[in-house]
Amino acid sequence: MFATALVALAAAAGAGYTTIGSAPAAPPLSGIHKIRHVVVIMQENRSFDSYFGTYPGADGIPMRAGQPSLCAPDPLAGGCRRPYHDASDRNTGGPHGPDAAATDIAGGRMNGFVAAVLAPRARLCARRPDDRRCQRPTTTDVMGYHDAREIPNYWRLARSYVLQDHMFASNLGWSLPTHLALVSGWSARCAGAHRPLTCKTEIARPALPLLHHAPGTSNGPPPAYYAWTDLTYLLHKHGVSWSYYVARGSEPDCEVDDALRCPFRFQGPRTPGIWNPLPYFTTVHEDGQLGNIRPVSDFVRSAREGSLPAVSWVVPNGHDSEHPPSLVSDGQAWVTRLVDAVMRGPDWNSTAIFLAWDDWGGFYDHVRPPVVGGRRYGIRVPALVISAYARRGYVDHQTLSFDAYLAFIEDDFLGGARIDPRTDGRPDSRPSVPERAAGLGSLVRDFDFRKPPRPPEPLAPRPG
């Protein structure tokens, strides 16, 4: 790599670039390459309509005469429930695995959200009407939505930067398949750590990381095998720096995709888990990159010092994740501190922050997930682009998924190289290259690189 750099410098000098003293001056960066740091912050379990369903100019909750027009059938009480403003800081949400997604989507009617929560109880009460559980009031908040009163910082960021109102999770799965797709474009299950051609698509039950079994040790059962190629393989191959930052604390969710309560499990950089899958990717081990998985405190320090890697992923712990029943306000404060750390640091003018929520968490959304590149996306989630070059107050209506994050990173740092077994030097059995899917929008449209970078607009983590 050092020799390659010397050759590049010599070529630049030979091409006639101006020099200062004996060192050649680098050509000015243009377009997407003005972004030298990409930060992906992934929060938990909110649909687009649950956070921005009433945001001006967005494709939000359908209204008629000022009232929500959709009504979701209630299998217990009869009738139906409409979207409503929910001022609660703590929510419950609903099941959010592939089966629940199918119930919520309801063949495209997008009105199964209440049924996904209450239908199991309705079946119980039909068999055993005297059961004490059937005598309790039926409650669910999946039709509730928040607005600027509960999430003022998120709405302010949308007004100052870019809100994407057609961002879909990369698949119809829950947190683990989503986080696998976030770093690799695929969620699969493989027969072994060094058998990438045995991997097959799996979004319901991809192999679970064993949270307290360290990779490479002989204690306990064998680890999960993520043998297919992930983005870090290409980044390492091209000499591009990266880090995956994990917040220490509790895991945000359960290992059972539809469970709404689960036991405490510790999460940290050295504990592979649903939100920390990279330690079980074969490529990360073969490339000696386990040290790139770091605590979130390191991200904050690097942002303040101006030493961010080219690519950062940042994931919360349970307390700060916004995953029900965690407080919305705690998650917003945590995200605000991360964004502010970048804004107040020297890398602000060269950074793009992509903020999204990993899946819909059972909350209502009215847009049917599209099929793009032969694959059905997951239910729509909130997403923002925050950057000195981001368009101000722009609502992006393109069809997007987290695959667009991969494409942006690949275009910015890898010359457009894709995670493609035909070209990346590492065959695996993935069925497609989702970054190339016809119909996937481009994040480049959310920037205006012709204008000078805008100064930061930091926010108080807990606005009064």
* Res. 70: pLDDT tops 90: yes
- The model's pLDDT over 120-143, given as tens digits with 9 standing for 90+, comes to 877 878 788 877 777 666 789 999
Instruction: Return the domain boundaries, the chain.
Output: 1-33, 35-51+147-446, 66-145
Q: Which has the higher per-residue pLDDT, 29 or 441?
A: 441
Mean pLDDT across 413-428? 97
Residue pair 219/205 in contact (Cβ under 8 Å)? The answer is no
Q: Which has the higher per-residue pLDDT, 209 or 275?
A: 275
Contacts (Cβ under 8 Å, ≥6 apart) of 357: 42, 43, 44, 45, 46, 51, 322, 381, 382, 383
- CA angle 394–311–346, rounded 5-degree value: 75
Give the Cα separation of 168 and 183 in Å (integer). Answer: 16
48-57, 136-145, 288-297: range with lowest mean pLDDT: 136-145
* Res. 51: pLDDT tops 80: yes
- Name the average pLDDT for the chain: 89
> Of 51, 393, 378, which is closest to residue 204 (Cα–Cα)?
378
pLDDT-derived band at 25 (thresholds 50, 70, 90) equals: low
Mean pLDDT across 206-227? 60
Residue pair 149/157 in contact (Cβ under 8 Å)? The answer is no
- What pLDDT is stored for residue 20 in this prediction? 41
- The model's pLDDT over 218-244, given as tens digits with 9 standing for 90+, comes to 444 446 789 999 999 999 999 999 999
Q: For tokens 């607005």, what's the residue?
A: 147
**Rg of the chain on CA atoms, in Å:** 23
35-51+147-446: CATH architecture: 3-Layer(aba) Sandwich (3.40)
- What pLDDT is stored for residue 368 in this prediction? 98
- The model's pLDDT over 148-203, given as tens digits with 9 standing for 90+, comes to 999 999 999 999 999 999 999 999 989 999 999 999 999 999 998 899 999 999 99
- What pLDDT is stored for residue 76 in this prediction? 85
Amino acid type, 39: V
* Res. 59: pLDDT tops 60: yes
**Residue 77: half-sphere exposure toward Cβ, Cα within 13 Å:** 14
Give the Cα separation of 299 and 316 in Å (integer). Answer: 12
57-61, 210-214, 243-247, 308-312: range with lowest mean pLDDT: 210-214
- What pLDDT is stored for residue 4 in this prediction? 37
Q: Which has the higher per-residue pLDDT, 430 or 138?
A: 430
Q: Which has the higher per-residue pLDDT, 181 or 265?
A: 181
Task: For residue 394, list its beta bridge partners.
Answer: 162
- What pLDDT is stored for residue 267 in this prediction? 87
Q: Does residue 325 have a cis bond before it (omega within 30 degrees)?
A: yes
pLDDT exceeding 70 applies to what percent of the chain? 88
Residue pair 389/35 in contact (Cβ under 8 Å)? The answer is yes
pLDDT-derived band at 8 (thresholds 50, 70, 90) equals: very low
